[in-house]
């Protein structure tokens, strides 16, 4: 019973917090996801924006150069195979428009397992997306006034 | 040596992001980023040293 009451309190707090978030913060969050580093640059956090942007962009392109490949769920994937593709795809999508541009041009989706640095490339690409999620949340928090 | 370079580059870029999104003063964030970078390298060396004893080849 006490657990349920605590859960309700937390839910109410989240609801209040979401309602008090300025709409600009949501747009900043979307911009930060779409173009790594842009969320901070739009808020005139030049140093942070450039450092975050160059890290994520650099990681993404180094990943591609090392022969890493991007994940996507295709029609041929069935059952457990979908999960194996979908989870890393979520990480890759964190790179925002970089992933979408690669998807539209069909770049980076071919496996190059014969290359020695193939696994390095995969790791760089996955972590680039995950780090951009972190950067996006940071930009959102700054825009919402929860962080300086 | 090339593997070490890619690992160090990965550690540098990742710890840069961790440092930037951390809370606290600029100096605190810089120190945190450097600490994470050092930890990445230290763990890689320790794991590499342990794995070198295992008969994988």
Q: What is the ipTM of this complex?
A: 0.87
- For A28-43, what is the mean pLDDT? 96
Nearest partner of B22 among A41, A138, A126, A36, judged by Cα: A138
What pLDDT, in 10s, does the model give residues A59-115?
A: 999 999 999 999 998 877 777 788 888 999 999 999 999 999 999 999 989 888 888
Q: Which residues of A touch B20 (CB under 8 A)?
A: 48, 51-52, 135, 138
Q: What is the DSSP letter of A106?
A: T
- Could you state, in order of their start, the residue ranges of all structural domains in chain A? 22-143
| Structure tokens, A117 | 């640095």
- Residue that the structure tokens 């769920």 belong to: A73
- Could you state, in order of their start, the residue ranges of all structural domains in chain B? 2-50
Please tell me which of the candidates B9, B17, B20 has its beta carbon nearest to residue A62: B9
**Alpha helices, DSSP H, located in A43-114:** 46-65, 80-93, 97-105
CA distance A71 to A81: 12
Q: Determine contact: B13 vs chain A, CB below 8 A.
A: yes
* pLDDT for res A18: 66
Q: Which residues of A touch B10 (CB under 8 A)?
A: 59, 120, 123-124, 127
Please tell me which of the candidates B3, B10, B17 has its beta carbon nearest to residue A134: B17
**Whether pLDDT at B52 is above 90:** no
| Structure tokens, B54 | 């295992």
How many angstroms separate the CA of residue A52 from the nearest CA in chain B?
6
Residues contacting residue A12 through CB under 8 Å, at least 6 positions apart:
none
């Amino acid at each position: 019973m006490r657990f349920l009451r605590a859960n309700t309190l937390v839910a109410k707090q989240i609801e209040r917090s979401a309602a008090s978030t300025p709409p600009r913060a949501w747009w900043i969050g979307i911009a930060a996801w779409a173009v790594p580093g842009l969320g901070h640059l739009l808020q005139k956090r030049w140093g942070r924006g450039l450092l975050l942007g160059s890290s994520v962009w650099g990681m993404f392109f180094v990943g591609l150069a090392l022969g890493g490949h991007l994940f996507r769920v295709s029609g041929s994937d069935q059952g457990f195979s979908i999960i194996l593709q979908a989870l890393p795809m979520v990480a890759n999508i964190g790179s925002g428009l970089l992933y979408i541009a690669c998807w539209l041009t069909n770049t980076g989706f071919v496996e190059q397992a014969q290359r020695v640095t193939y696994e390095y490339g995969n790791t760089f690409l996955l972590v680039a997306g995950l780090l951009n999620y972190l950067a996006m949340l940071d930009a959102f928090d700054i825009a919402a006034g929860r962080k300086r | 040596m090339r593997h070490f370079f890619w690992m160090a580059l990965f550690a540098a870029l990742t710890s840069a992001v961790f440092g930037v999104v951390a809370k606290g003063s600029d100096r605190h964030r810089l120190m945190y980023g450097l600490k994470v970078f050092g930890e990445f390298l230290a763990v890689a060396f320790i794991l590499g040293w342990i794995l070198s004893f295992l008969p994988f080849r």
